[in-house]
Amino acid sequence: MSVYHEDILHIWQPTTALKGRNPAQTAFKEIVRHDDYFKISIVDAYDTQVDLIYDQHRPSEVPDVEYYVWAYRYGTEYGRFDLNGKKVDETNRICTESSYFFKVSNSEFIKWFDKNPLINSFTHPTLEHHLYLTGDEVLDVLSIYEPKIIIAK
Protein backbone atom coordinates (compact mmCIF):
# COMPACT_ATOMS: atom_id res chain seq x y z
CA MET A 1 0.00 0.00 0.00
CA SER A 2 1.39 3.39 -0.98
CA VAL A 3 2.16 6.04 1.66
CA TYR A 4 1.42 8.73 -0.94
CA HIS A 5 -1.92 10.36 -1.39
CA GLU A 6 -2.44 13.68 -3.10
CA ASP A 7 0.14 16.45 -3.02
CA ILE A 8 -0.35 18.97 -0.23
CA LEU A 9 1.12 22.42 -0.90
CA HIS A 10 2.53 24.05 2.23
CA ILE A 11 3.18 27.77 1.90
CA TRP A 12 6.88 28.45 2.36
CA GLN A 13 7.98 32.08 2.72
CA PRO A 14 11.77 32.10 3.24
CA THR A 15 11.76 35.79 2.26
CA THR A 16 9.15 38.54 2.27
CA ALA A 17 11.03 40.68 -0.26
CA LEU A 18 8.79 39.75 -3.22
CA LYS A 19 5.65 41.85 -3.03
CA GLY A 20 2.30 40.52 -4.17
CA ARG A 21 -0.51 38.60 -2.58
CA ASN A 22 0.27 35.38 -4.44
CA PRO A 23 2.84 33.80 -6.79
CA ALA A 24 0.89 34.87 -9.89
CA GLN A 25 2.28 38.37 -9.33
CA THR A 26 5.86 37.21 -9.91
CA ALA A 27 7.87 36.00 -12.91
CA PHE A 28 10.97 33.94 -13.52
CA LYS A 29 13.81 36.17 -14.73
CA GLU A 30 16.15 33.23 -15.29
CA ILE A 31 16.75 29.64 -14.33
CA VAL A 32 20.38 28.51 -14.54
CA ARG A 33 21.71 24.99 -14.28
CA HIS A 34 25.44 25.45 -13.83
CA ASP A 35 28.14 22.93 -12.88
CA ASP A 36 28.60 24.76 -9.55
CA TYR A 37 25.00 25.71 -8.68
CA PHE A 38 21.33 25.78 -9.65
CA LYS A 39 19.90 29.32 -9.57
CA ILE A 40 16.34 30.59 -9.83
CA SER A 41 15.82 34.34 -10.22
CA ILE A 42 12.31 35.61 -9.56
CA VAL A 43 11.07 39.21 -9.91
CA ASP A 44 7.93 40.93 -8.70
CA ALA A 45 5.93 43.79 -10.26
CA TYR A 46 8.21 46.30 -8.48
CA ASP A 47 11.36 44.83 -10.07
CA THR A 48 12.57 43.36 -6.81
CA GLN A 49 14.65 40.32 -7.66
CA VAL A 50 15.23 37.34 -5.41
CA ASP A 51 17.82 34.72 -6.30
CA LEU A 52 17.38 31.24 -4.86
CA ILE A 53 20.69 29.41 -5.12
CA TYR A 54 21.23 25.73 -4.57
CA ASP A 55 25.01 25.42 -4.24
CA GLN A 56 25.69 23.02 -1.41
CA HIS A 57 27.45 19.87 -2.37
CA ARG A 58 27.22 17.60 0.65
CA PRO A 59 29.71 14.76 0.19
CA SER A 60 29.58 13.84 3.89
CA GLU A 61 25.84 13.15 3.59
CA VAL A 62 25.71 11.92 0.02
CA PRO A 63 29.24 10.89 -1.04
CA ASP A 64 28.36 9.60 -4.49
CA VAL A 65 26.10 12.46 -5.61
CA GLU A 66 27.68 15.50 -7.21
CA TYR A 67 24.44 17.31 -8.04
CA TYR A 68 23.21 20.45 -6.29
CA VAL A 69 19.59 19.50 -6.89
CA TRP A 70 18.57 15.91 -7.47
CA ALA A 71 15.86 16.61 -10.01
CA TYR A 72 13.91 19.49 -11.45
CA ARG A 73 11.12 19.95 -13.95
CA TYR A 74 9.79 23.00 -15.70
CA GLY A 75 6.34 23.58 -17.10
CA THR A 76 3.90 26.26 -18.07
CA GLU A 77 0.57 26.94 -16.44
CA TYR A 78 -1.08 25.04 -19.32
CA GLY A 79 0.95 21.94 -18.64
CA ARG A 80 0.26 21.87 -14.90
CA PHE A 81 -3.49 21.76 -14.54
CA ASP A 82 -2.84 19.08 -11.92
CA LEU A 83 -2.07 21.92 -9.49
CA ASN A 84 -5.64 23.27 -9.64
CA GLY A 85 -7.59 22.32 -6.56
CA LYS A 86 -4.63 21.01 -4.55
CA LYS A 87 -4.91 21.36 -0.80
CA VAL A 88 -2.96 24.42 0.40
CA ASP A 89 -1.72 24.70 3.98
CA GLU A 90 -1.27 28.40 4.84
CA THR A 91 0.04 27.78 8.38
CA ASN A 92 3.56 29.07 7.66
CA ARG A 93 2.58 32.22 5.77
CA ILE A 94 4.45 35.08 7.40
CA CYS A 95 3.23 38.12 5.45
CA THR A 96 0.03 38.45 3.42
CA GLU A 97 1.55 41.29 1.34
CA SER A 98 4.41 39.09 0.08
CA SER A 99 4.52 36.29 -2.43
CA TYR A 100 5.49 32.78 -1.43
CA PHE A 101 6.65 29.39 -2.64
CA PHE A 102 5.61 25.90 -1.59
CA LYS A 103 7.03 22.79 -0.02
CA VAL A 104 5.07 19.76 -1.14
CA SER A 105 4.24 16.82 1.09
CA ASN A 106 2.85 13.53 -0.22
CA SER A 107 4.69 14.53 -3.36
CA GLU A 108 4.03 12.62 -6.57
CA PHE A 109 7.35 13.99 -7.87
CA ILE A 110 9.20 12.39 -4.94
CA LYS A 111 7.17 9.22 -5.46
CA TRP A 112 8.40 9.16 -9.06
CA PHE A 113 11.99 9.88 -7.93
CA ASP A 114 11.84 7.07 -5.36
CA LYS A 115 12.07 4.61 -8.24
CA ASN A 116 15.78 5.45 -8.23
CA PRO A 117 17.38 2.59 -6.27
CA LEU A 118 20.56 4.54 -5.36
CA ILE A 119 19.28 7.80 -3.88
CA ASN A 120 15.70 8.48 -2.88
CA SER A 121 13.57 9.68 0.02
CA PHE A 122 14.05 6.37 1.85
CA THR A 123 17.85 6.55 1.78
CA HIS A 124 17.76 10.33 2.38
CA PRO A 125 14.66 11.32 4.37
CA THR A 126 15.58 15.03 4.22
CA LEU A 127 14.69 15.10 0.50
CA GLU A 128 12.17 17.89 -0.12
CA HIS A 129 10.00 18.97 -3.03
CA HIS A 130 10.17 22.76 -3.53
CA LEU A 131 7.57 24.26 -5.87
CA TYR A 132 7.98 27.68 -7.47
CA LEU A 133 4.97 29.16 -9.25
CA THR A 134 4.74 32.39 -11.18
CA GLY A 135 1.98 33.95 -13.27
CA ASP A 136 2.76 31.68 -16.23
CA GLU A 137 5.32 29.05 -15.23
CA VAL A 138 6.03 26.29 -12.75
CA LEU A 139 9.35 24.90 -11.50
CA ASP A 140 9.65 21.86 -9.25
CA VAL A 141 12.95 21.12 -7.49
CA LEU A 142 14.01 18.11 -5.42
CA SER A 143 16.78 18.85 -2.94
CA ILE A 144 18.04 17.73 0.46
CA TYR A 145 18.45 21.35 1.62
CA GLU A 146 16.84 24.78 1.23
CA PRO A 147 18.43 27.24 -1.17
CA LYS A 148 20.42 30.29 -0.22
CA ILE A 149 18.35 33.48 -0.66
CA ILE A 150 19.87 36.65 -2.12
CA ILE A 151 17.82 39.80 -2.55
CA ALA A 152 19.29 41.40 -5.64
CA LYS A 153 17.51 44.78 -5.44
pLDDT in tens, 33-56: 998 899 999 999 999 999 999 998
In a domain, 123, yes or no: yes
In a domain, 14, yes or no: yes
How many structural domains is the chain composed of?
1
Spell out the alpha helix ranges (H) of the chain: 108-113
In a domain, 75, yes or no: yes
Task: Enter the pTM of the model.
Answer: 0.91
In a domain, 45, yes or no: yes
pLDDT level of residue 59 (50, 70, 90 thresholds): low
In a domain, 1, yes or no: no
So what's the pLDDT on residue 78? 65
Average pLDDT along the chain: 89
In a domain, 2, yes or no: no
14 by Cβ neighbours in 10 Å (0-12 / 13-18 / 19+) ranks as middle
CA distance from start to end of the chain: 48
Q: What is the mean pLDDT of residues 59-80?
A: 76
